[in-house]
Structure formats: C-alpha cells, structure tokens
Amino acid sequence: MRRLSLPENSALPQRDLHHQSGDDLTASRDIDGAYDLGQPREDALDDDAANEPTSRDELATLWRGAWPALTDEQIGLLIGYRDALRERNLHVNLTAVRDYPGIERRLILESLRLLPALEERIRQGNRVLDIGTGGGLPGMVLAISRPDLQFTLMDATGKKVQFVQDAAQQLGLDNVRPLHGRAEEIARDTGHRGQYRVAVARAVSSLPTLIELGLPFVMLGGYLVLPKGIDLNDELLAAEKAGKLVGGNVVDASILPDVGSSVETRLVVIEKVAPTPKTYPRRTGLPAHSPLGIAEKPERSKR
C-alpha cells in the first residue's frame, strides 16, 4: 500500500474532494486536537501480544452478529479497510484506536450496529452523509455494507479525507465521495443542504451541536442518526430545545441491542420535521462553543 506521510500543516493538492466555496478557515487544523507528531509508532505496537489480528472466521461471526447480511466479499473488504486504517494510522494520526481488536470492535463493529436503524429509514439509492468521518467511521463501514446507497464522507481535516479517498480507491468502492471542509460552511452549499436522507456522526460533538451542524443537510422527512453513550440526560434536553430551533424532533433514543461489543450505545434519532431556518448553522465554531439549547455562559472555554 502506498504510504502517505504528510508533514504537519502541509497543503494537500487541490482536488475535487476539497470543498471550494467560501473560506476554508481550518483546512489543515486538526479539529479534535490530535496532532501528528510525525513519528512512526510501529515499534511500540508490534511488540504488543494483544495486538494480533482476529481470524477471518471469528470476524465474520462477530460482525454478522450486528449485520447478518454481510457477504464473504464484504467481510474481505472490511478486513482490507481495517488493515489500511491501521497501516496509515502508524504514520498519520487518524484515530486514537490503534490496535487490531480496537479497530475490529470499537470502530468497525460499532459502525455495523447502526445498519438496522439505517435500513428502517432509507430507500435504495438514497444519499447518506457522515459528518466528521475522521478515518472513515462509520461511513466506510456503512458504504462497504450498503453498496446500494451513496455515501459522502466529510471531514475538516485534510489528511483524514485523503486517507478516505485512498482507501475507497484501494478497495474499489464507487459509492464513497470524500469531502474536505467544515460542516458550517458546506451546509450553505445548495449541492449539500437538504440533500441527504440520513446524516450520521460518531464521536464528533454533543447532541445540540450535531443537531445544528447536521440537520441542515437532511431533507424533510429524513433523519439524523447519532450513536452516543448511554448517560445522556442533560444532552437530550438540550437536543430537544435545539431541535425545535432547527426543525428537528427527537424520535428515538433507545439503547442498541448487545452484539458482544465493549461499549453500550444509545442511538439518538432526530427526524427533520420542518425546514431549517437560513441562520443555521451559525458561523464556524459557534455550534460547538455555544451549543443551542444550553444557557449562555460568560466564558467561552466550555466545550
């Protein structure tokens, strides 16, 4: 596999995956604060006995526990994605989960768990947006599992989008469109606003922030599908208030059935019931710094 090791802050070549309209204020900044130190981490990992790839047969059983329809070919593609992610992550900071079992369970299995909720709410050919996809989660896993749907995988960090593009090409996925930019800016683009039947986001931000960033992309009658931890009380209240402002209704927040995963997940589903006013999302940074539905505080330091 070709290795991509971009120096920090290096400009990526301008390609069609870059969002062209508006100022790209943060193209090379890593929003989640994870900076690549530029040092290979192979030594630390390769000695670790627990960091062994799981056998193909065990993976097939594990992953089919979450999504029984997976074909042998799709299992192979998921393994190819696992390997590509682990390999690139040795050189470029794509995710804090670096070991095989972590990638297989925390990332891939967790993403597969979303498929039943997607299935209920989507029709063949529909477009799905993954906001803050990072190294392609859950978007790449969903795209491998549902070749009949079109996926746009968006992230503000160029090196992550570059990986998504390379991995999709390497695996021959023609239903993945990588998109580099900030949700706040891309949501103003008529090619994206109101164009998606479902938008998903994993480990990106709080519910009210995700509602403001995500619902503008969703068409009327479509859904925002957000996996979260199980203790959510305050966040859910804020989510309901935020939803009223941007045209969303929280319709579900059930705990997902256990599929042998290490984490408990509550799946929050917000239906788009009214058009989002033009004022949302607010300008870059505000949805995260001052989430809707949460009383204003004088400090900007809250997150």
- Residues contributing to the site for ligand SAH (CB under 6 A): 31-32, 95, 132-134, 137, 154-157, 160, 182-184, 202-204, 213
Residue 153 falls in which region: left (phi positive, over 0), alpha (psi -120 to 50) or beta: beta
C-alpha 187/C-alpha 192 separation (Å) is: 6
Burial 233-248 (b: 16+ CB within 10 A, else e): eebbebbbebbebbbb
User: Residues 6 or more apart from 123 whose CB is under 8 A from it?
Assistant: 197
Comparison of 74 and 157: residue with beta carbon closer to ligand SAH: 157
Comparison of 123 and 303: residue with beta carbon closer to ligand SAH: 303
Shortest distance, position 72 Cβ to ligand SAH, whole Å: 26
User: Residues 6 or more apart from 70 whose CB is under 8 A from it?
Assistant: 60, 63, 64, 78, 112, 145
Strand-pair partners of 198: 128, 223
Comparison of 31 and 259: residue with beta carbon closer to ligand SAH: 31
Comparison of 71 and 96: residue with beta carbon closer to ligand SAH: 96
Shortest distance, position 180 Cβ to ligand SAH, whole Å: 9
Shortest distance, position 23 Cβ to ligand SAH, whole Å: 14
Shortest distance, position 215 Cβ to ligand SAH, whole Å: 14
Shortest distance, position 15 Cβ to ligand SAH, whole Å: 18
Shortest distance, position 134 Cβ to ligand SAH, whole Å: 2
Comparison of 75 and 204: residue with beta carbon closer to ligand SAH: 204
Comparison of 107 and 250: residue with beta carbon closer to ligand SAH: 107
User: Residues 6 or more apart from 226 whose CB is under 8 A from it?
Assistant: 200, 201, 202, 207, 210, 214, 267, 268, 269, 270
User: 130: closest CA among 121, 118, 120?
Assistant: 118
